[in-house]
Amino acid sequence: MQAFEKYVERHELFSHEDKILLTVSGGVDSMVMLSIFVQLGYNIGVAHCNFGLRGKESDEDTEMVLRECEKLGIVCHSKRFDTEGEMARTGDSMEMAARRLRYEWFNELCREEGYAVIAVAHHANDSIETFFINLLRGTGLRGLTGINRQYGKVVRPLLYATRKDILEYALKNHIPYREDSSNRSTKYLRNKIRLGLLPMLQEINPRFTALMRGNLYRLNDAQRFIDVAIDRIREVALHSENGVDTIEVGAIDPMYPRDFVIYELLNSSYGFKGDVVEELNKALKRGVTDRRFYSRNYVAYLDRGNIMVAPIEDEDDCEVIVERGDMRSYCGNSVLYYEHTDIDNVNKYHLPSDVALLDEAKLQYPLRLRRWREGDSFIPFGMAGRKKVGDYLTDQKVPIVERKRQFVLVSGDDIVWIVGRRTDERFRVGNNTENILKITKLNI
- pLDDT at position 93 is 74
Using CA atoms, how far residue 390 sits from 375, 387, 396, 425, in Å, is: 8, 8, 10, 17
- pLDDT at position 71 is 95
Looking at the domain assignment, is residue 123 inside a domain? Answer: yes
The residues, ordered by sequence, that sit 6+ positions from 227 with a Cβ below 8 Å of its Cβ are 268
Looking at the domain assignment, is residue 226 inside a domain? Answer: no
Looking at the domain assignment, is residue 237 inside a domain? Answer: no
* Residue 315 pLDDT > 50: no
Looking at the domain assignment, is residue 235 inside a domain? Answer: no
* Residue 347 pLDDT > 70: no
Count CB neighbours of 243 within 10 A: 8
Q: Of 292, 311, 330, which marks where a domain is finished?
A: 311
- List the domain range (segments joined by +) for residue 291: 242-311
Looking at the domain assignment, is residue 222 inside a domain? Answer: no
Between residues 254 and 138, the one the model is more confident about: 254
Q: How far apart are the first and last CA of the chain?
A: 39
The reply to whether 141 and 267 lie within a common domain is: no
Q: Find out whether 274 and 263 touch, Cβ atoms under 8 Å.
A: yes
Please state the pTM of the whole predicted model.
0.67
Mean pLDDT of the region 396-411? 81
Count CB neighbours of 289 within 10 A: 12
The reply to whether 439 and 326 lie within a common domain is: yes
Mean pLDDT value across the chain: 89
CATH number at residue 390: 3.50.40.10
- pLDDT at position 333 is 66
| Strand partners for 321 | 368
Strand 43-50 to strand 76-80: parallel, antiparallel, or no bridges (unpaired)? parallel
Count CB neighbours of 211 within 10 A: 13
Q: Find out whether 194 and 155 touch, Cβ atoms under 8 Å.
A: no
Q: Find out whether 54 and 181 touch, Cβ atoms under 8 Å.
A: yes
pLDDT exceeding 90 applies to what percent of the chain?
Answer: 59
- pLDDT at position 87 is 77
Least reliable range by pLDDT among 77-81, 107-111, 160-164, 391-395: 391-395
Looking at the domain assignment, is residue 354 inside a domain? Answer: yes
Looking at the domain assignment, is residue 233 inside a domain? Answer: no
Mean pLDDT of the region 12-38? 96
Q: How many domains does the chain have?
A: 3
The reply to whether 287 and 251 lie within a common domain is: yes
Q: Find out whether 22 and 36 touch, Cβ atoms under 8 Å.
A: no
The reply to whether 300 and 420 lie within a common domain is: no
